[in-house]
Amino acid sequence: MVHAVWATQYDIVLFSQAECTVVHSPVSNLYLGSGIMPYAQMVEHGVRLALGTDGMAATGHLSMFENMKLAATLHTAATPDFERWPAASHILRMATYGSARSAGLASQVGALTAGLKADIIVLDLHGLGFTPLNNVVNQLVYSESGDSVETVIINGQVVMQNRQFANIDEMSIMAEIRSYAPRIQDAQAAAWKASQPLYPILDRLYQKSWQTPEV
């Protein structure tokens, strides 16, 4: 289940009973103004949670670090009871094991455990976010932007080292993407024009959903 920003109490109970995973995408949800997942209620009912980025069109940046920090801070405004606020350790687990489980890959990735694939990122701990190093989980969730990522290993293979990709020409790929821009922009303009007759219908559905009692 993705987003679940309009979940009712009844929905949350069903999620828990079905043992399904809800993927929280806070950056996308705020960017689109679609709502906020009821984190505290999900946790209290034992709902399995994961963290996602959604797509570029809905966020502008596919950063798990950005989503971790927002997921950890957004829900503090929902209640003055700090005991119900997200813990950095839970957010990190959502982003790793929880996300792997949501994709049916928990037996392969999602943790640094013997027997799983060696999917690892190595961070430079000399930056401001980790200076001084005192609580690595808190600092990873609240202070890291992704700029400290130095090395990336996927299934035991080094794909980025010293912030340089090992097997691809990044600049060449970026240049190729830029060459597609005019064609994509023309197609987007045509799609936008064709979609306008649907706008009143979608707007009514959106407003109706907002007016539905929430948790």
Which tens digits make up the pLDDT trace of 54-70? 998 888 889 999 999 99
199 backbone dihedrals φ, ψ, rounded to 5°:
-55, -50
Between CA 42 and CA 78 the distance in angstroms is: 13
For the record, the structure tokens of 113 come out as 């455990």
Specify the pLDDT at position 22: 98
Are 46 and 21 in contact by the 8 Å Cβ rule? The answer is no
Percent of the chain with pLDDT strictly greater than 70:
99
If DSSP codes are grouped into helix, strand and coil, which group holds residue 208?
A: helix
Please report the pLDDT score of residue 139 as a whole number.
Answer: 98
Q: Show the domains of the chain with their CATH numbers.
A: 1-108 (3.20.20.140), 118-167 (2.30.40.10), 176-215 (no CATH)
pLDDT confidence bin for 213, thresholds 50/70/90: low
- 211 pLDDT above the threshold of 80: no
pLDDT in tens, 155-180: 999 999 999 999 999 999 999 999 99
- Rounded CA-CA distance 36/38 in Å is 6
Show the tokens assigned to 171. Answer: 């600049």
